[in-house]
Structure 1
Amino acid sequence: MNLSNRVELSGKVAVVTGSGRGLGLAYVRALAAAGAAVVVNDVDPGAVDQAVAAITETGGRAIGVTAAVGETDTAELLVSRAVESFGRLDVMVTNAGILRDRVLWKMTDDDFDAVIKVHLRATFTCARAAAVQMRAQGEGGRLVLIASPAGQRGNFGQTNYAAAKAGIAAMSRTWAMELARSAITVNAVVPVAATEMTKTIPAFAPAIEAAERTGSPLPAWMRKDEGLGTVEDVAGLITFLASDVSGDITGQAIGIGGDRLALWAHPTEKAVAFADGGWSAESIAERWHGEVGAEPETYGIPAPTAPGA
């Protein structure tokens, strides 16, 4: 079925946190191009102003809110500004994030708390404020929560970030159940794109730098094998999940990057064994490797390797 005339957002209003640059900017520009009125949010007022100007200069509708997410006051401000300016709220995209990478024994309380606040707590406060407004409107809505491969598999040096992103995926499943009767869908997006963070990965850096220098596309091995492309490559999924076309999709973790679109599996029991009367430490030790633990799960994001490396 040709959906090209249906995946559009005329009449809808969206908030995108952390949308002054990078992935967030790509999201908010794509939503506006599809017809949505958008609220641009970032901690950098210059980035907010530039994003709003870029959207309005091309005929889109946008306002900006400069504020750090995490606190309830900010979440409620974003929703109220959307309603005051455009009359309603249909889509909340929780994208804002920071990094404070350190291995466990060097990570400070502040490192941990800062990342949890911006990623996990801000997703909670913004989604809650959006859900209150959407339920009051009585016409459904879309919560699009930005997760990460680190939250799905873990990543070295990212205790705080991986925990927050795993929590976001878990919240999406819980909220999908809680908001189903209100026709509000909730999905986690697992994006992979060439950003300031991925540019530092040795296997990716030369190809990304060459593409930026020459204007050429990223190589096929990166776009397909690694599922890594530009920030714009991710934006189509955000627009799709914000639209009416995706009304039957909820509680999912969906990956996208480069040429790859993927549905992530949810955690499930992989192997089960039984012992009459229960398990002692000795019985577990005796049977673990030959039964339940015969094929242990992998963990960590596989290290990328460029062809010929």
Structure 2
Amino acid sequence: MGLLDGKAVVVTGAGRGLGREYARHAAAAGAAVVVNDVDPEPATEVAALITEAGGRAEVSTHSVADADQAAAIVTQCVRAFGTIDGLVNNAGLNYQVPPWADDPVRMRELIEVNVLGTMFTGMAALRVMRDRGTGVIVNVASGALLGKRGAAAYSASKGAVASLTYSWAADLAETTIRVNAISPLAWTRMVEADEVERARLSRDLTPDLAAPLVTYLLSDLSAGITGQLVRLRGDKLHLVRQHAVKQPVLTCPRWEVEDIAAAFRGELEPEPPPAERWKL
């Protein structure tokens, strides 16, 4: 018996890298998988690997950045496998550039895939899941949401994915539908294109190491776990704290500039700069 026996799962951006391993691992655990990728060749290859291993797979080449196409991915899963039990919102873009040299067209494309793509596909899946009363969504965030040099658009998009995850989990708190996010770190094409990441990561940090976390979150073993951001980096697993009010909360009848300056000289302790947080 597999952890995901009888479940139908969609994995977006599943042709390469982390998505490929999420799809294969879920299939090995018993799930029927819709392998989605706008590039048909790698998506077909992944689906073939799944079926050759005795699993069930469908290929989708729809773009998550288009609301109708995103809905079509979910529809394909329901038609092929009878329902949708899990969605892994993995499709994403990344690039490195200083903010003063960024390209509005490229920024828009990234946001449409990373943020709107996650929203469009998730909304379509939730319509089915709410009718059934059950389901799981795993969104893919990144440690870049803490702020990363040369990746402002990407960092902002992953911060949005984290906030979206918390919001959906709150919306669905009275149901058994769960929404979590992961922050995986592995050697992928994105890393190879990132000079900073290439310098700090080992090639031994392969995408398959992150796949068990996704299968766990899709499975009934994680029942009751929702609204969490889970980071996995090789041998390190931890939760990422949500934004919250930091103590102390100071009170003053009316805050003037001098009062605020005094507070920062005194009891208010600023957070470390983003560049330092990113080293974690």
Distance in 2, matches of 1:158 and 1:141, equals: 33
The 8 Å contact of residues 140 and 183 in structure 2, kept in 1 or not, is answered as: yes
Task: Quickly say closer, same or farther: Cα 1:196–1:302, change in 2 above 3 A.
Answer: farther
SS in 1 for 2:5: coil
2:179 is equivalent to residue 203 of structure 1: no
SS in 2 for 1:203: helix
Shift in Å, 1:286 = 2.1
2:91 is equivalent to residue 96 of structure 1: yes
Distance in 2, matches of 1:242 and 1:122, equals: 20
Distance in 1, matches of 2:277 and 2:180, equals: 24
Match of 1:261 in 2: 237
Instruction: Read off the aligned partner of 2:148 and give its amino acid letter.
Output: N
Task: Summarize the alignment of residues 73-88 of structure 1 with structure 2, pairs less than 5 Å apart.
Answer: 73-88=68-83
Q: Structure 1 stretch 58-67 or stretch 99-108: which is displaced more?
A: 99-108
Shift in Å, 1:273 = 4.0
Task: Summarize the alignment of residues 45-194 of structure 1 with structure 2, pairs less than 5 Å apart.
Answer: 45-138=40-133, 140-151=134-145, 153-194=146-187
Unmatched 5+ stretches in structure 2: none
2:30 is equivalent to residue 35 of structure 1: yes
Shift in Å, 1:285 = 1.2
Instruction: Read off the aligned partner of 1:162 and give its amino acid letter.
Output: S
Shift in Å, 1:31 = 0.4
- The TM-score normalised by the length of structure 2 is 0.94
Shift in Å, 1:264 = 0.9
The 8 Å contact of residues 198 and 204 in structure 1, kept in 2 or not, is answered as: no
- The TM-score normalised by the length of structure 1 is 0.85
The 8 Å contact of residues 143 and 278 in structure 2, kept in 1 or not, is answered as: no
Distance in 1, matches of 2:170 and 2:242, equals: 15
Shift in Å, 1:99 = 1.6
Give the alignment partner of residue 208 of structure 2, picking from 232, 239, 243: 232
Deviations 1:29-84 (A, max 9, x none): 00000000000011111111111111000100000011221111111101110010
Shift in Å, 1:204 = 4.2
The 8 Å contact of residues 169 and 188 in structure 1, kept in 2 or not, is answered as: yes
Question: Size of the alignment, in residue pairs?
Answer: 277
SS in 2 for 1:262: strand
Instruction: Read off the aligned partner of 2:76 and give its amino acid letter.
Output: R
Distance in 1, matches of 2:267 and 2:13, equals: 46
Distance in 1, matches of 2:170 and 2:263, equals: 37
Unmatched 5+ stretches in structure 1: 209-217, 219-228
